[in-house]
Amino acid sequence: MILTVTLNTALDITYRVRSLRPHTSHRVSEVTERPGGKGVNVARVLAALGHEVTVTGFTGGATGRVVREKLAAVPGVVDALVPLSGATRRTIAVVDERTGDTTQLNEPGPTVLPSEWSAFQEAYEDLLPAASAVALCGSLPPGVPVGAYAGLIRTARSAGIPLLLDTSGEPLRRGVAARPDIIKPNADELAELTGSHEPLRATQDARRRGAGAVVASLGPEGLLAATREGRWRATPPTSLRGNPTGAGDAVVAGLLSGLVEHLPWPDRLARATALAAATVQAPVAGEFDRGVYEGLLGRVTVSGEVSAA
């Protein structure tokens, strides 16, 4: 079982409009709702790849009930979310059908009480023995300590469970110091962490700060990885047009699935890149078509060098 942690779950709502223009009314052509938050998105992709996945984190209020109802309909995903007195947040994505661009509005999330944080930590520790890998994903809701991910990483390391961290800012900085097996920042998050805007130098610096491996998302340019085994660059086959929402979560799912299947790094990176590209091309944010993914997989270019160490 792969365990994904989403402390700031959401109900993702997507509106499609013919053309998004400020200061005017819009007729919405389509509305979709689905359970969201980065770890939930990762779990959905992992389940589609055939892995058993358990989702934990927080959920509460009327929005939280909708999230759990919709999550129950996702094959292969087990709900282990912890109840919260506050209401789960919503995220609103508005897709401009003319340009394909997406405008995102993210609510901050409910405040987590100290007793609720303690309840989550107990649930997390109970779930770890059955986990083959863990992903800690997304932002921290109000009330959760800024060093929360660092503590969860140390708990997983004590249990011998490999862990991937996908967050930003101070939670990422503190989390890296706790020595996660993999981090997956985008270019801006990596630059904020290291102070370097040169991706290769920044990935190496992030490893020196404690990360076992660093896989940086470079948007349309693909992935850059610095690991104990070597360094690689994975590039999608074509310049892709579509909705990038959820592409980073597809990368995390590709890396995690490759980890538990013991694939070599070039194969993990090819899978992650193809999944991200298929997600960008999908009509619904964060979904992917299996046929499109399989067609892209063999066309991803992975180049690099194996470490002599």
The dihedral sign for the CA sequence 160, 247, 82, 117: positive
Over residues 26-31, mean pLDDT:
89
Q: Higher-confidence residue: 238 or 22?
A: 22
pLDDT (0 to 100) of residue 285: 56
pLDDT band at 40 (very low <50, low <70, confident <90, very high): very high
Average pLDDT value for residue range 87-110: 87
pLDDT of residue 283: 61
CA dihedral 72, 120, 11, 254 (to 10 degrees): -70
Which residues, 6+ apart, have CB-to-CB distance to 262 below 8 Å? none
- How large is the average pLDDT for residues 271-286? 78
Q: Give the mean model confidence (pLDDT) for residues 67-95.
A: 93
Amino acid code (one letter) for 224: L
Type of residue found at 23: H
Q: Model pTM? A: 0.90
* Interval 226-243 mean pLDDT: 83
Helices (H), 195-305: 199-208, 247-260, 265-281, 290-297
Instruction: Pick the range with the lowest mean pLDDT from 32-36, 99-103, 124-128.
Output: 99-103
* Residue 249 designated active-site: yes
Query: Which tens digit of pLDDT belongs to each residue from 190-231?
Result: 999 999 989 889 999 999 999 999 999 988 888 999 999 999
pLDDT at 93: 84
What confidence score (pLDDT) does residue 308 get? Answer: 46
Specify the pairing of strand 102-106 against strand 89-96: antiparallel
Q: How many residues does the chain have?
A: 309
Q: So what's the pLDDT on residue 35? A: 92
**pLDDT score for 205:** 92
Q: H or E segment at 192?
A: helix 187-194
pLDDT, averaged across the chain:
90
242 pLDDT exceeds 70? no
Across 253-265, average pLDDT: 95
- Tell me phi and psi for residue 65, to 5 degrees: -65, -40
Residues 3-17: pLDDT tens digits?
999 999 999 888 989
Q: What is the enclosing helix (H) or strand (E) of 187?
A: helix 187-194
The amino acid occupying position 259 is: L
203: helix, coil or strand? helix
Per-residue pLDDT reduced to its tens digit, 127-166? 999 999 999 999 999 999 999 999 999 999 999 999 999 9
Burial of 195 (0-12, 13-18, 19+ CB in 10 A): exposed
Catalytic residue among 12, 181, 205, 249: 249
